């Protein structure tokens, strides 16, 4: 998956602002922020979407992603006022980058439905 843009970010081949990383997860600022705080939290492993996650991914990687989100929300001061986690999956889900990622958005009032 050498052409995957998020794999390139994981490998340090594309410059970005990394706010968190561990052995399974990397989090960085979205290049086109939709909120005062807008991060993307991704697995180091290339997984196309949540629909492509294996049982092993669900058991090992998703908990690491949500642990990172919880840590980041606290660190960025979002936990008290609240925040939004978004995962777009596939064409109708609005996914544009085919490497599993969770958006962490905060710092403003979110609306519902999301459109």
46 is catalytic: no
How many Cα atoms occupy the beta-carbon half-sphere of 58 within 13 Å?
Answer: 6
Give the span between the Cα atoms of 107 and 37, in whole angstroms.
6
Residue 30-59 contact track with Zn ion, rule CB under 5 A, x = bound:
----------------x-------------
Q: At closest approach, how far in Å is the CB of 7 from Zn ion?
A: 3
Q: Does 30 bind ligand AMP (CB under 6 A)?
A: yes
In terms of Cβ atoms closer than 10 Å to its own Cβ (0-12, 13-18, 19+), residue 54 is exposed
Which positions from 38 through 67 interact with ligand AMP, judged by CB under 6 A? 40
Sites of contact with ligand AMP (CB under 6 A): 5, 14, 16, 30-32, 40, 88, 94-97
């Amino acid at each position: 998956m050498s052409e995957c843009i998020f794999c390139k970010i994981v490998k340090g081949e594309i410059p970005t602002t990394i706010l968190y990383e561990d052995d399974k997860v990397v989090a960085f600022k979205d290049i086109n922020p939709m909120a005062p705080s807008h991060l993307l939290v991704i697995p180091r492993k290339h997984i196309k979407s949540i629909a492509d996650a294996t049982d092993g991914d669900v058991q090992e990687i998703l908990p690491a992603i949500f642990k990172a989100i919880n840590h980041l929300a606290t660190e960025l001061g979002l936990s008290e006022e609240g925040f939004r986690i978004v995962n777009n999956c596939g064409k109708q889900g609005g996914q544009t980058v085919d490497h599993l990622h969770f958006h962490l958005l905060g710092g403003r009032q979110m609306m519902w439905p999301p459109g």
